[in-house]
Amino acid sequence: MSMSREKLLKTIQEVANTKQPTLSLFNSDLTELPREIALLTHLESLDLSDNSLRSLPNEIGLLTNLKHLNLDYNDLEKLPSSLTKLIELKELDVSHNNLKKLPKDIGNLSQLQRFNLSANKLKELPNSFKHLSQLTELDCSENQLNHLPAFIGNFKRLMSLNASENQLLSLPDSLINLCELTHLNVGYNKIKEIPTSICQLSSLCLLDVSKNQISHLPTAIEQLTDLRSLILRSNKLKSLPKQIGHLHKLKNLDIAYNKIVKLPKEIAQLYQ
């Protein structure tokens, strides 16, 4: 629903007067956010999703009490550096925009727990990203990343990592440090092998490596004793290791569109 500038300014003033902690401008056909947004320094949650915003005013950095900011489904090509002053942010969604890079000081958002970067045009993550040590969920899928930086291993609280639909050639060994990780999706990349280090992620429940170039599974796959779902479809597998029969909690095994002609007899153990 389209919102006129006059109505938008009136809404901002009302929220400023009442100290309402949340403001949703979802699907309001906005093409710009007025500088008067600076009046809402008390705001804790702001939803600007599903609009036509191409930029944000620097004044967004004055909303220093924000904990939740949703900017998905806009036309943003960059984020203002002032956004990195929102140090109370716990959840930031900038998915489905046209971002080619992130502010170099994005690491200042050190309280961030959930960060959705999906469906942009990012080719790399800035070095300061390594300071986002409180992350529990990171979605950087549908970008143009050709590698995951080693500092991804710094995110010791990370439970869900989605890096699917990029151009990844390999996975860093530092993933071994993500001892809380339960969901790992790196499907639709160019990965040729699953590093043995991933097999030490004992909390992993879902591993999706579909649509890559993987020709074999490490025998250490048996160490993923909590694994419920293993998605291997559309790779170059010719066989499965017999150790796969040790994954007693596995409920979903997808090996479609590979080159497997014979399954190990141990796979029957999955159905006992």
Q: Say if residues 180 and 158 touch (Cβ distance below 8 Å).
A: yes
Find residue 184's DSSP bridge partners: 161, 207
What's the pLDDT score for residue 58? 97
Query: Rounded to whole angstroms, how far apart are CA atoms 272 and 268?
Result: 7
Q: Which residue, among 130, 124, 80, 77, has the nearest Cα to 108 in the 3D structure?
A: 130
Q: What is the DSSP letter of 224?
A: -
CB atoms within 10 A of CB 51: 23
Give me 98's structure tokens: 């046209």
Question: Mean pLDDT for each 10-residue chunk of the chain (272 residues)?
Answer: 85 96 96 96 98 97 98 98 98 98 97 98 97 97 97 96 98 96 98 95 97 97 97 97 95 97 92 73
Q: Which residue, among 106, 259, 31, 9, has the nearest Cα to 23 in the 3D structure?
A: 9
Give me 52's structure tokens: 């036509």
What's the pLDDT score for residue 185? 98
What's the pLDDT score for residue 79? 98
Place of tokens 């904990």: 67
What's the pLDDT score for residue 2? 64
Helix (H, G, I), strand (E, B) or coil at 25: coil
Give me 188's structure tokens: 């639709």
pLDDT digits (tens, 9 = 90+) for 10-42: 999 999 999 999 999 999 999 999 999 999 999
Q: Which residue, among 48, 56, 52, 59, has the nearest Cα to 23 in the 3D structure?
A: 48
Helix (H, G, I), strand (E, B) or coil at 245: helix
What's the pLDDT score for residue 271? 76
pLDDT digits (tens, 9 = 90+) for 205-234: 999 999 999 999 999 999 999 999 999 999
Amino acid (1-letter code) at residue 135: L
Query: Rounded to whole angstroms, how far apart are CA atoms 5 and 163?
Result: 38
Q: Say if residues 62 and 84 touch (Cβ distance below 8 Å).
A: no
Q: Say if residues 208 and 227 touch (Cβ distance below 8 Å).
A: no
Quick one: residue 158, left, alpha or beta (phi over 0 = left, psi -120 to 50 = alpha)?
A: beta
Query: Rounded to whole angstroms, how far apart are CA atoms 224 and 65?
Result: 41
